[in-house]
Structure 1
Amino acid sequence: MKKLIIPLIIFLMLVSGCSHATEIEGKKDARGTKKLHIVTTFYPMYYFAKKVAGNLADVDLLIPNGVEPHDWEPTAKDMAIIQDSDVFIYNSRYFETWTEKVLNSIDRSNLKIVEASKGIELIDGISEEGENHKENTASKDPHVWLSPVLASQEVDNITKALEQKDPKNKEQYEKNAAVFKSQLADLDRLYKKTINEAKKKEFVTQHAAFGYLAKQYGITQIPIAGLSPDVEPSLSKLTELTELMKKKNIKVIYFEGLVSSKVAQTLANEIGAKTEVLNPLEGLTKEDQKKGLDYIGVMKKNLDALKLSLY
């Protein structure tokens, strides 16, 4: 992570924060009461918060859709937006690695901070060399939102925080959350049924983002690279994967829409396989947005894509 120049940032926060606070203060609901202002880091957090909050809050997305979030860092303006909000929601310190430093640099006295993955047992990360099933004690895999079951736990954490910050609307938050968790339960059942009927149990990805989904449904992710999507594997690792895929007759390699598919395409060309998108939902692509897709829609598309490997 690039070094944050804290004194300058704090100065700029004071300037930009004042104007932002004035803007937020004017946002009220139909009854004339001030709405909660919620700031979320990236798309799944934004989507989950919107589902729980409904029309009771204004929810902002900090990392724009279409931007790869692993290497994104907040500007002074972003930090001011966080400070001036009522609730700040992020997934995990292992994903938004800048959060601790930022939160220690701002006034948090009126800010409810939500680490949505809190209480979820995180699995060890895949090494950046792409070595499968090796522990990396320096990091944990943060991609819990890709399991509908764990996503539901994140929704619980978000709901609890909103109820604490805005207790008068507790009942409505609980109703909204219940409706959304019912949709997640339907998604879970669809994944279970589809994968239980599959003949194969392995799939190859360019980015090791699908460990929780694989664990949830009893399938195996074979990643080309580790948790960072832009890290390229060594030549020896590519050779090893080529031999493995030939042996297992794997014909599909998955890549994601926000980063280059070069590595996946190189390996696919080597063994005569094809490439397909498996979306880690770290941000909606322009194509997703044009199609009106949301978290549920993309997760269903992912399941259809997985069927190409598992059936």
Structure 2
Amino acid sequence: MNPPLLRLLALTMTAAHAAAGCGADTSEPSAGEDKPAVVASFYPLVFASEGVGGDLVEVENLTAPGIEPHDLELSADQVRSLSDADLILYLGGGFQPALEDVVSGLDESRALDVLEGRGFLESAESESHEGEEEDHESTADPHVWLDPTIMAEIVDQVAVRLSRIDPAHKKVYLDNAAQLDSRLENVDRKFNTVLSHCLTRDIVTSHDAFGYLAARYDLDQVSISGIDPEAEPSPGRLAQVARFVEEHDVGTIFFEELVSPKVAETIAAETGARTEMLSPLESAPPSGDYADAMEANLAALTRALDCD
């Protein structure tokens, strides 16, 4: 993992600073000092901003628990929050069109598109869905946060922006980001270690959300639906996936928490496979945080892929 922005900034800081604790630095602003207001478009960006900012910032999540972030529609209060925010964190490229429409009319200096200069990974399933009756609007995979190394880069971007907004606490933001980077590096190390000793590398998922995770850890993802988690797969696609499951002896069909598991359960019943949850981390986990949920994903993959 190589967070160059963070390390470059860290070199400019003075060495006289007490060692940081295990969690984010919770230094409070001075009396009467306003906290920077951060509006994050969905959970992974909330995780990054809270982890970097700690108690020094106020963070609002635009996507309510249990709601697919793809489906975000903004209320009048949320539009006002965006207008008043010191920092808006979002993922561009059409992931949340309603939000991008509003952000385009605001001061660009207050908004950070964490995808800027990066672009999306092309869906590995785009070709296999071609020829079906449905028109898929996009084959670009926006789920960049499922690669912990990219998540660490996002953390570093947040630290840089908060340091510009609130330079008095720059050292705190950089220290917190370094601690968070260390946790993410540990997650990445565990994935690499465990998934390098598996009997199979095929994962069958309910929708095409795990391209970045698969690319990072050399897995082969086959999805039932495309990028849109609520798109209904055609009968031909269902038959194609069921055939793949049988021919490759796939024992687990993965579903996710925000989408009905019905289609995954149907294919599992037809093929004798079982179902298990693999989280795309679009919403906050019921307990713990991003790193904890990623480790739960690793445990699910370990069982499904027969890893040592």
TM class, shorter-length: 0.7 to 0.9
Decide whether the 8 Å contact of 1:112 with 1:165 is kept in 2. no
Decide whether the 8 Å contact of 1:117 with 1:153 is kept in 2. no
- Mapped pair 1:116 → 2:111: no
CA gap of 1:129–1:218, structure 2 versus 1, over 3 A, is closer
Structure 1 equivalent of residue 20 of structure 2: none
**Matching residue's letter, 1:114:** L
Structure 1 residue 137: deviation in Å?
Answer: 9.1
Structure 2 equivalent of residue 160 of structure 1: 160
Question: Helix, strand or coil for the counterpart of 1:229?
Answer: coil
- Mapped pair 1:294 → 2:294: no
Structure 1 residue 190: deviation in Å?
Answer: 0.3
Structure 2 equivalent of residue 309 of structure 1: 304
CA gap of 1:189–1:173, structure 2 versus 1, over 3 A, is same
Q: Bigger shift: 32-41 or 163-172?
A: 163-172
CA distance in 2, matches of 1:230, 1:219: 24
Structure 2 equivalent of residue 5 of structure 1: none
Q: Bigger shift: 237-246 or 121-130?
A: 121-130
With the length of structure 2 as denominator, give the TM-score of the two structures.
Answer: 0.84
Runs of 4+ aligned residues of structure 1 deviating over 4 Å after TM superposition are 126-130, 136-139
1:1-311 matched pairs, under 5 angstroms: 29-105=29-105, 107-108=106-107, 112-125=110-123, 131=129, 138-284=138-284, 288-289=285-286, 292-311=287-306
Identity %: 34
Structure 1 residue 280: deviation in Å?
Answer: 0.4
CA distance in 2, matches of 1:138, 1:246: 29
Question: Helix, strand or coil for the counterpart of 2:122?
Answer: coil
Question: Helix, strand or coil for the counterpart of 1:119?
Answer: coil
Structure 1 residue 118: deviation in Å?
Answer: 2.4
CA distance in 1, matches of 2:126, 2:225: 6
CA distance in 2, matches of 1:67, 1:126: 25
Gaps of 5+ in 1: 1-27
Structure 1 residue 32: deviation in Å?
Answer: 2.7
Structure 1 residue 130: deviation in Å?
Answer: 6.3
Decide whether the 8 Å contact of 2:204 with 2:221 is kept in 1. yes
CA distance in 1, matches of 2:187, 2:126: 31
Q: Bigger shift: 79-88 or 117-126?
A: 117-126
Decide whether the 8 Å contact of 2:125 with 2:208 is kept in 1. no
CA gap of 1:61–1:137, structure 2 versus 1, over 3 A, is closer
Structure 1 residue 198: deviation in Å?
Answer: 1.2
Decide whether the 8 Å contact of 1:93 with 1:99 is kept in 2. no
CA distance in 1, matches of 2:225, 2:137: 17
Structure 1 residue 33: deviation in Å?
Answer: 1.2
Decide whether the 8 Å contact of 2:74 with 2:99 is kept in 1. no
Structure 1 equivalent of residue 13 of structure 2: none
Q: Bigger shift: 90-99 or 218-227?
A: 90-99
Q: Deviations over 1:72-115 (max 9, x none)?
A: 2112221111111111101223312223311234x427x61011
Decide whether the 8 Å contact of 1:38 with 1:87 is kept in 2. yes
Q: Deviations over 1:218-262 (max 9, x none)?
A: 111111111111112111111111111111111100000111111
**Matching residue's letter, 1:294:** D
CA distance in 2, matches of 1:137, 1:65: 26
CA gap of 1:259–1:162, structure 2 versus 1, over 3 A, is same
Structure 1 residue 127: deviation in Å?
Answer: 5.9
With the length of structure 1 as denominator, give the TM-score of the two structures.
Answer: 0.83
Decide whether the 8 Å contact of 1:36 with 1:56 is kept in 2. yes
Q: Bigger shift: 205-214 or 292-301?
A: 292-301
Question: Helix, strand or coil for the counterpart of 2:82?
Answer: helix
CA distance in 2, matches of 1:80, 1:267: 45
CA gap of 1:184–1:256, structure 2 versus 1, over 3 A, is same
**Matching residue's letter, 1:306:** L
CA distance in 2, matches of 1:129, 1:258: 26
